């Protein structure tokens, strides 16, 4: 029943499915989601079975993450999942180098790599591959059968290196450059079927036994040595570097080129305990008077430590929402006013889910309905935030985003010239912090 409601909600994002290239959201951070891994670790220890080693490498440019469990010399797997905590949407993680958000991957030429998006957390995060950061989100070249960076004649017959999208063993396209098969030139590499499927209801996406979503990528262009990127076709800000390796497994081009166009989110301070990102200035000890209220009536009640922490997280995110909703409405655009109210509202929903997952009381095993609803909130509301941010920048509506308060609302009203000057300075600093915060978000 919950998912029926969600399906309607889902269709809101489908309004812009065809425009998903601009539906990405900027990320706010990166912290490892320990929950599932720890669960796997404790299970493994309990039954005294050695842990399977999928791969090796630190996931850095000098030590890329590589698979060790290759079927043979020319067929290897990357096992994909997503970590939601400590960042704004989610970051890719690979079982070959667990615990590393957005790792640098290493790939050899003329090896077919299968990126297995089997894990449920892949829902709404179909992998793409691009020559530059974020691919079509930024209107830069992706790996497609008709696109080459090296001047290779492949562009003439649609045989350039491109991913091949699968549902189970069922190939969804026509183009083919997999090792050990016949090269087929065609513009259709299956993405047009694959990507829309990642928007459907979770149960439908994951429920079909054949729904072993996977992407195969084979790099063959011997005259191209630059790095490429994996990225999410739905959310921008999730690009990770892929470096070419020689036959010995050594990095061919040590410099990182092209550049990744942003830094990853790294949660610190109180955000670490909440699974959130960007809330540190709103916690009660440090909120600098941004909010006068305590949002939870906890007097006289006792809570265990995890719930005390969760309450603290909620209080901070409620403060953030209220503070960021206190704006002057636009006199020219109700849409702008709506957006400036809705973005902090959506951010709050996403943060609430991250904090709830962080408590450990909600997981795919213990509370699957709530857990996957939270993933829906994280994935869809993040896309909607990006859509709204894009609307504001496209329509250039500045009005309606001004804060109601030019100074700390909890500070005493300045009475004299000297205190007014001091208060003005405080207000200026607060404004700068707010503008910075707004830009980051
Ligand atoms: Cu995504």
Hey, what domains does the chain have and what are their CATH numbers? 2-245 (2.60.40.420), 270-404 (no CATH)
How confident is the model at residue 27, as a pLDDT? 32
- Average pLDDT (262-282) is 95
The rounded Å distance from CA 383 to ligand 1 centre is: 9
**171 membership: H or E segment, kind and range:** strand 170-171
The rounded Å distance from CA 35 to ligand 1 centre is: 20
- Average pLDDT (108-125) is 96
Residue 287: which pLDDT band, with cuts at 50, 70 and 90? low
Q: Residue 318: CB partners within 8 Å, gap ≥ 6?
A: 291, 295, 348
The rounded Å distance from CA 29 to ligand 1 centre is: 14
The rounded Å distance from CA 234 to ligand 1 centre is: 5
The rounded Å distance from CA 396 to ligand 1 centre is: 26
DSSP one-letter code for 172: -
- Average pLDDT (424-432) is 38
- Average pLDDT (340-369) is 96
The rounded Å distance from CA 25 to ligand 1 centre is: 9
CA angle 99, 103, 107 (to 5 degrees): 125
- Average pLDDT (8-16) is 30
The rounded Å distance from CA 95 to ligand 1 centre is: 18
How confident is the model at residue 399, as a pLDDT? 63
The rounded Å distance from CA 258 to ligand 1 centre is: 22
The rounded Å distance from CA 235 to ligand 1 centre is: 4
Paired sense of beta strands 228-232 and 240-245, if any: antiparallel
**Residue 222 corresponds to which tokens in the numbers above?**
């011997």
How confident is the model at residue 53, as a pLDDT? 67
DSSP 85-147: TTSSS-EEEETTSTT-SSPPEEEETT-EEEEE--SGGGTT--EEEESSTTGGGGT--B--TT-
Residues in the chain: 441
The rounded Å distance from CA 162 to ligand 1 centre is: 20
Range of lowest pLDDT (82-86, 351-355, 422-426) = 422-426
- Angle between helix axes 2-14 and 368-376 (nearest 10 degrees) is 10
Write out pLDDT tens, residues 179-238: 999 999 999 999 999 999 999 989 889 877 677 999 999 999 999 999 999 999 999 999
How confident is the model at residue 354, as a pLDDT? 98
How confident is the model at residue 146, as a pLDDT? 98
Residue with tokens 């404004």: 431
The rounded Å distance from CA 126 to ligand 1 centre is: 7
Q: Is 275 helix (H, G, I), strand (E, B) or coil?
A: coil
The rounded Å distance from CA 339 to ligand 1 centre is: 22
Nearest to 391 by CA among 328, 339, 329, 439: 339
The rounded Å distance from CA 239 to ligand 1 centre is: 10
The rounded Å distance from CA 219 to ligand 1 centre is: 23
The Cα 146–Cα 156 span in angstroms is: 7
How confident is the model at residue 283, as a pLDDT? 86
The rounded Å distance from CA 349 to ligand 1 centre is: 17
- Average pLDDT (146-163) is 96
User: In whole numbers, what is the pLDDT of the chain averaged over residues?
Assistant: 82
The rounded Å distance from CA 281 to ligand 1 centre is: 27
Q: How far is CA 150 from CA 154, 164, 229, 241, 370, in A?
A: 10, 21, 16, 19, 48
- Average pLDDT (271-281) is 95
The Cα 134–Cα 122 span in angstroms is: 17
Residue 88: which pLDDT band, with cuts at 50, 70 and 90? very high
Nearest to 346 by CA among 94, 12, 50, 112: 12
Write out pLDDT tens, residues 350-363: 999 999 999 999 99
How confident is the model at residue 401, as a pLDDT? 65
The rounded Å distance from CA 123 to ligand 1 centre is: 8
How confident is the model at residue 245, as a pLDDT? 97
The rounded Å distance from CA 124 to ligand 1 centre is: 6
Q: Is 70 helix (H, G, I), strand (E, B) or coil?
A: coil
Write out pLDDT tens, residues 89-106: 999 999 999 999 999 999
Strand order in the sheet with 105-108: 105-108, 240-245, 228-232, 127-130
The rounded Å distance from CA 122 to ligand 1 centre is: 8
Write out pLDDT tens, residues 17-69: 323 333 333 333 323 333 333 333 333 333 444 456 689 999 999 999 999 97
The rounded Å distance from CA 233 to ligand 1 centre is: 6
The rounded Å distance from CA 391 to ligand 1 centre is: 20
The rounded Å distance from CA 264 to ligand 1 centre is: 14
Query: pTM of the full predicted structure?
Result: 0.80
The rounded Å distance from CA 191 to ligand 1 centre is: 15
The rounded Å distance from CA 107 to ligand 1 centre is: 22
The rounded Å distance from CA 5 to ligand 1 centre is: 21
Residue with more model confidence, 403 or 325: 325
Q: How far is CA 159 from CA 156, 191, 284, in A?
A: 8, 16, 58
The rounded Å distance from CA 4 to ligand 1 centre is: 22
How confident is the model at residue 209, as a pLDDT? 66
The rounded Å distance from CA 195 to ligand 1 centre is: 11
CA atoms within 13 A on the CB side of 6: 22
């Amino acid at each position: 029943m919950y998912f029926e409601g969600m399906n309607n909600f889902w269709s809101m994002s489908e309004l812009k499915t065809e425009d998903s290239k601009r539906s990405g959201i900027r990320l706010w951070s990166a912290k490892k989601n320990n929950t599932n891994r720890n669960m796997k670790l404790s299970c493994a220890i309990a039954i005294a079975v050695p842990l399977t080693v999928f791969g090796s490498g630190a996931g850095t440019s000098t030590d890329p993450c590589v698979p060790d469990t290759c079927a043979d010399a020319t067929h290897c797997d990357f096992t994909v999942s997503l970590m939601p905590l400590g960042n704004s949407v989610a970051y890719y993680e690979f079982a070959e180098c667990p615990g590393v958000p957005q790792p640098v991957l290493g790939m050899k030429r003329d090896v077919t790599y299968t990126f297995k998006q089997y894990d449920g957390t892949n829902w709404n995060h179909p992998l793409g591959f691009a020559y530059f950061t974020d691919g079509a989100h930024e209107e830069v070249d992706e790996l497609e059968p008709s696109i080459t960076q090296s001047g290779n004649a492949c562009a003439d017959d649609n045989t350039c290196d491109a991913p091949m999208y699968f549902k189970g063993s069922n190939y969804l396209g026509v183009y083919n450059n997999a090792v050990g098969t016949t090269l087929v030139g065609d513009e259709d590499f299956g993405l047009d079927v694959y990507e829309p499927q990642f928007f459907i209801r979770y149960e439908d996406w994951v429920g079909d036994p054949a729904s072993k979503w996977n992407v195969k990528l084979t790099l063959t262009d011997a005259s191209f040595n630059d790095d490429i990127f994996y990225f999410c076709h739905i959310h921008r800000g999730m690009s990770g570097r892929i470096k070419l390796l020689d036959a010995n497994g050594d990095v061919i081009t040590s410099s990182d080129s092209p550049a990744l166009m942003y830094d990853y989110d790294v949660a610190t301070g109180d955000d670490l305990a909440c699974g959130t990102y960007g809330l540190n200035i709103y916690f009660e000890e440090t909120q600098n008077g941004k909010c006068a209220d305590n949002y939870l009536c906890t007097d006289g009640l006792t809570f265990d430590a995890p719930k005390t922490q969760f309450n603290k997280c909620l209080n901070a995110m409620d403060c953030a929402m209220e503070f960021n909703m206190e704006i002057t409405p636009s006199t020219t655009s109700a849409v702008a006013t709506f957006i400036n109210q809705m973005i902090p509202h959506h951010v709050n929903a996403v943060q609430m889910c991250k904090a709830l997952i962080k408590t450990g009381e909600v997981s795919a095993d213990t509370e699957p309905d709530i857990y996957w609803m939270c993933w829906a909130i994280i994935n869809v509301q993040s896309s909607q935030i990006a859509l709204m941010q894009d609307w504001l920048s496209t329509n250039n509506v500045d009005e309606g985003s001004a804060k109601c308060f030019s100074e700390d609302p909890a500070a005493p009203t300045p009475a004299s010239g000297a205190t007014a000057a001091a208060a003005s300075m405080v207000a200026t600093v607060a404004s700068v912090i707010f503008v910075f915060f707004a830009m980051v978000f």
